[in-house]
Structure formats: C-alpha cells, structure tokens
Amino acid sequence: MLERKQLKDRTHVTFVLPADAPEGPVSVVGDFNDWQPGTHTLEPRTDGTRAVTVPLPANSVHSFRYLAAGDYWFDEDQADGHDGTNSRLHT
C-alpha cells in the first residue's frame, strides 16, 4: 500500500507492507535511490505493518520495486501503473 502526504514542493510517500508477508527484511528500491537495496528498508509500525517513508519531488514519476530476502523481487499492487517489470509512482 502507498500512503502519500503532499507538501509544497515534495511528496512524502510511505511504502507499507504486512509485518510478515513476505518474511524477512524488505527494502524499496527504485530510481530515487539508484536501485540500491537496503537504502530504504521497511521498519515495523505499531499497527502491525512495516513501512518506510521516502521524500520525493512533487510532480514527478518514479519506477520502483520491493526486494525481500532471498533475492525475491515484487511489485506494489496499488501502484499508479507499471512499466514492464517495475511499479510506477506519480507524485
């Protein structure tokens, strides 16, 4: 799930997943972090989910995917679209 908070010139996008699906550490990787795993790792929240918030420029488009343990790549079901294997996000 994606949560968005629009600010003047930025959008804070929070990437949210269940606490245990998939198991193990998960990070969001995309063009906004040079596709570097571990840069934005989802952390547990009190509501039983895990999440990470990434500030992105307003009015921009980004490609991203999730990377879980065991080199398991997957997409965001609620993304704004897809470009081949990547999820797309519009801020």
Q: The domain spanning residue 30 has which CATH number? A: 2.60.40.10
**pLDDT score, position 84:** 85
Phi/psi at 77 (nearest 5 deg)?
-65, -30
Average pLDDT over residues 68-83: 93
- Who contacts 91 (Cβ-Cβ below 8 Å, separation ≥6)? 4, 10, 11, 13, 56, 57, 58, 59, 60, 61, 62
- The boundaries of the domain holding residue 57 are 2-90
Task: State the average pLDDT for the chain.
Answer: 95
Rounded to two decimals, the pTM is 0.93
Output the CA torsion 38→85→44→12 (10° steps): 90
Reported confidence tier of residue 1, pLDDT bands at 50, 70, 90: very high
Tally the domains of the chain: 1
Average pLDDT over residues 37-60: 96
* Residue 61, token pair as written in the block: 């488009």
